[in-house]
Amino acid sequence: MGKDLSRRTFLKTGTAAALGLAMGSEALFANDSSDKATPPPAPLDRKLKILGVGIGGRGASVLRELETEEIIGLCDVDWKYADHVFKRYPQAKKYNDYRVMFSEMLDQCDAVVVATADHTHAIIAAEAIKAGKHVYVEKPLTRTVYESRLLTQLAAKYKVATQMGNQGASGEGVRQICDWIWNGEIGEVTRVDAFTDRPIWPQGLERPAKEEKVPKTLNWDGFLGPAPYRPYNSIYTPWNFRGWWDFGTGALGDMACHILHPAFKALKLTYPTKIQGSSTALLTESCPNAQKIRYVFPARDNMPKVAMPELVVNWYDGGILPDRPEGLAIGKSLNDSGGALVFYGTKDILICGCYGVNPYLLSGRKPVVPSIHRKITLNHQQDWVRACKEDPSVRVPAASDFAEAGPFNEMVAMGVVAVRLQGLNQELEWDGKNMKFTNIPAGATIRTMIHDGFSITDGHPTFENVYTDPVDANEFARNLIKPVFRDGWVLPELPY
Ligand SMILES: NC(=O)c1ccc[n+]([C@@H]2O[C@H](COP(=O)([O-])OP(=O)(O)OC[C@H]3O[C@@H](n4cnc5c(N)ncnc54)[C@H](O)[C@@H]3O)[C@@H](O)[C@H]2O)c1
């Protein structure tokens, strides 16, 4: 028996174990029928051929970690912003429309990196996966719940290696938190509080009245992609897309994918059953300056050393902090690297920073426990490269494989939905499997503020806010869960 065979046997065991630990509900639902026209990717013993889409910002950093491989094509809608990346990889073909790049080069590549604005992650990644290509997609995996479900199912169907860009998932902190909780070190967890100090980009805005001239170097229509058409303004891109509902997911999408991940993984969360959101002024166009979301998760299967009872997760952003845990030293900031996560257990309180960094117990005790998880010795991007090169039948999934990242991202995207439905003044009940709310009364309507018309006239405050017409709340909710795309842009249906 060759070395190779025994390695495969090991990998097979490793895969099963890792899936057992990390598997989200979607992978469990997924059947095994693979598309006859697209066989699963074969194992590779050469460099990956990679296409990058959305390379001017975070994409540039991801590509730098992938320079062991061959970067053969690059696409960015903004050739000025992305110029430094095009220059770094002169051998790569340049595009400003990913559809053209895909039509010319998708069949030549093994893998695609997506680091565009949130609203185009799903449509780009779905096409790549359907062609049997491995994908690395920046967090948030998608802007909406349906899109996360879709990518999870497509990845399972086409057996590609996947990674969401929440790099903390490959870090030591997340493993340690799981090990401590699963060993019963803090007892049963019934409450988790989390926060981020973001947004640091503009939010709480109305749509700019002024139309600006589209720079020659920008493919504005390409940036909009599936989003409804709107005139160009330099406030949207680069970077600030985060704060606009049509393109981003606010502070939640930006930071909850890092901050909440240890809770999702260590507490084996799947779908919430109830959710409520509230915020500072909620406008039609742009995310609010600060938000609070309360999720309720049902009891999960108990683990050998710890039960997993019903749980409340509270999320805060925009500078609002959760209550300080009793016993936390006066003067100690909870904020570590952009936020924090506090697990309230029946025996102790566990606190960590963003990305799961620097976990500690409030009691000061330092648990010594057996380590259950695979230690990830490569960085987040290289561990995905490793997974891409393995045979799908024995592949050890990367730390943020879509089997976990998809259901996790649904949790994050649900927070956005709850905030946007706050005008219903009710706790929303969620049927996760069927992606629908079950208790919005038939005929209920909702409206949202277009213009915050507060002003002082002759020393008197006046409130002349402008709202949308009331719209059917169930339909509004459905649109938040599964977006309606601009003509010409189509997202695949769920394969299962
Ligand atoms: N993992 C992390 O730590 C981390 C850090 C920053 C950003 N991100 C994520 O990366 C993504 C991009 O964020 P950013 O800060 O780099 O934003 P950015 O605006 O700086 O960069 C996005 C790039 O994508 C390009 N782009 C946008 N739409 C495109 C399209 N349809 N086709 C091709 N190119 C397109 C833009 O021109 C720009 O160059 C976001 O989803 C964000 O959440 C992750």
User: By alpha-carbon position, which residue is closest to atom 20 of ligand 1?
Assistant: 57
Q: Does the C-beta of 138 come closer than 6 Å to ligand 1? A: yes
Gap between the Cα atoms of 388 and 210, Å rounded: 46
The DSSP line for 441-488 is PTT-EE--EEE--EEEETTEEEE--EEPPPEEHHHHHHHHHSPPPPTT
Helix, strand or coil, per DSSP, at residue 26: helix
Statement to judge: residues 160 and 110 lie in one domain: yes
CB 335 within 8 A of CB 320: no
Q: Which residues contact 480 (CB under 8 A, 6 or more apart)?
A: 144, 416, 417, 420, 421
Question: Domain for residue 298, yes or no?
Answer: yes
Which secondary structure element, helix H or strand E, spans residue 431, and what is its range? strand 428-431
238 pocket-lining for ligand 1 (C-beta < 6 Å): yes
326 part of a folded domain:
yes
Minimum CA distance residue for ligand 1 atom 24: 54
Asked if residue 115 has its Cβ within 6 Å of ligand 1, the reply is: yes
Q: What pLDDT, on a 0 to 100 scale, did the predictor assign at position 30? A: 37
What are the structure tokens assigned to 144, written together?
A: 């909406």
Q: Which atom of ligand 1 approaches the CA of 225 most closely?
A: 31
Structural domain includes residue 413: no
Name the residue at shortest CA distance from atom 30 of ligand 1. Answer: 223
425 falls within a domain = no
- Asked if 308 and 398 sit in the same domain, the reply is no
| CATH assignment of the domain containing 351 | 3.30.360.10
Does 167 contact ligand 1 (Cβ within 6 A)?
yes
Is 74 in the same domain as 145? yes
Ligand 1 near 57 CB (within 6 A): yes
For ligand 1, atom 31, which residue shows the shortest CA distance? Answer: 223
CATH number, domain of 398, equals 3.40.50.720
Based on the structure, what is the number of domains in the chain? 2
Of 237, 255, 412, 485, best ligand 1 pocket probe by most atoms within 8 Å of the beta carbon: 237
- What DSSP string describes 252-275? IIIIIHHHSHHHHHHTT----SEE
The domain in which residue 288 lies consists of 170-204+241-361
Residue 39's pLDDT is 86
**Residues 174 and 147 occupy one common structural domain:** no
Q: Examine the domain organization and report whether 36 and 138 are in the same domain.
A: yes
User: Based on the domain organization, do 160 and 175 belong to the same domain?
Assistant: no
Q: What are the tokens at 305?
A: 């050393």
Chain CA centroid to CA 31, Å: 24
Same-domain check for residues 115 and 138: yes
Any domain includes 477:
no
Alpha-carbon distance 144 to 483, whole Å? 7
Q: Which two tokens stand for residue 47?
A: 């460099």
Same-domain pairing of 84 and 44? yes
Are both 67 and 185 inside the same structural domain?
no
Please write the tens of the pLDDT for every residue from 12-22.
333 333 333 33
Low-confidence spans in the chain with pLDDT less than 70: 1-37
Asked whether residue 466 is assigned to any structural domain, the reply reads: no
Q: What spacing in Å lies between the alpha carbon of 168 and ligand 1's midpoint?
A: 18
165 lines ligand 1 (CB under 6 A): yes
Are the beta carbons of 167 and 380 closer than 8 angstroms? yes
Cα 417 to middle of ligand 1, angstroms: 22
- DSSP-assigned beta bridge partners for residue 244: 286
Full-model pTM: 0.93
Beta bridge partners of 71: 50
In angstroms, the CA 65 to CA 119 distance is 24
- Distance from the CA of 247 to the center of ligand 1, in angstroms? 11
Residues 36 and 120 in one domain: yes
CA 56 to chain centre: 19
* 161-to-51, 113, 278, 395 alpha-carbon distances in Å: 15, 12, 37, 8
Atom of ligand 1 nearest to the CA of 240: 19
Q: Is 351 helix (H, G, I), strand (E, B) or coil?
A: strand
Residue 117 lies in a domain: yes
CA of 298 to the centre of ligand 1 (A): 34
292 lies in a domain?
A: yes
Q: Are residues 66 and 197 in the same domain?
A: no
Residue pointed to by tokens 């998608």: 142
CA-closest residue to ligand 1 atom 17: 239
Same domain, 297 and 322: yes
Question: HSE (CB half, 13 Å, CA atoms) of 65?
Answer: 17
Q: Which of 369, 404, 439 is the last residue of a domain?
A: 404
Q: What is the pLDDT of residue 35?
A: 53
CA-116 nearest atom, ligand 1: 24
Query: Is residue 81 within 6 Å of ligand 1 at its C-beta?
Result: yes
Residue nearest to atom 39 of ligand 1 (CA): 56
Q: Give the type of residue at 340.
A: A
Pairwise CA distance, residues 156 & 404, whole Å: 11
Pairing state between β 134-137 and 70-75: unpaired
Show Cβ contacts of residue 50 under 8 Å, excluding neighbours closer than 6 positions. 63, 66, 69, 70, 71, 72, 109, 110, 111, 112, 113
Tell me if 152 sits within 8 A of 407, measured CB to CB.
Answer: yes
* CA-to-CA dists, residue 487 to 168, 224, 484, 494, angstroms: 37, 12, 9, 20
**Would you say the CB of residue 118 lies under 6 angstroms from ligand 1?**
yes
SS (H, E, C) 188-242: CEEEEEEEECCCCCCCCCCCCCCCCCCCCCECHHHHHCCCCCCCCCCCCCCCHHH
| DSSP β-bridge partners for residue 463 | 454
- Of residues 300, 299, 283, 302, the one with CA closest to residue 291: 283
Angle of helix 145-158 relative to helix 402-420, nearest 10 degrees, comes to 170
